[in-house]
Amino acid sequence: MDKMVLKGMEYYGYHGVYEEERKLGQRFYIDLELELDLREAGQTDDLSKTVNYAEIHNLLREIIEGKSFKLIEALAEHIASSVLDTYTMVDALTVHVTKPHPPFDIHFEGVTVKLHRSRK
């Protein structure tokens, strides 16, 4: 299966278990790997034969900057289901949601949730 990978998309959202996170907000990074047949798009150079990644970026912005989730697992699940519902040519996808600065007393680069969903 062919893949389209969108890496390092950055959004500002209000997600987290702690009230301060939902009040102040923070950055989130999204990587999205879409599994779909890209042959016809590649042969015809026709945008209608693939997914428009600018539209996907806007969909993710609406999700991440619109609604508040306590868990990034819930955010990732909502992203996956929204993309599969909106883009029927996508057979499966992998979503990475990274919270780069979780509110802990120890230093580390962040936490990432990775999930894979398919139509099967």
* CATH number of the domain bearing residue 42: 3.30.1130.10
How many other C-beta atoms can be found within 10 angstroms of the C-beta atom of residue 79? 23
49 is catalytic: no
Which is more confidently placed, 110 or 38? 38
- pLDDT interval class at 1 (50, 70, 90): confident
Size (the chain), residues:
120
Q: Domain span at residue 15?
A: 3-118
Structural domains of the chain, count: 1
Tell me the mean pLDDT in the region 27-52. Answer: 97
Tell me the mean pLDDT in the region 23-45. Answer: 96
Catalytically annotated residue among 3, 23, 70, 99: 99
pLDDT in tens, 46-96: 999 999 999 999 999 999 999 899 999 999 999 999 999 999 999 999 999
How many other C-beta atoms can be found within 10 angstroms of the C-beta atom of residue 59? 15
Q: Output the DSSP codes for 57-72.
A: HHHHHHHHHHS--S-H
Give the predicted TM-score (pTM) of the model.
Answer: 0.93
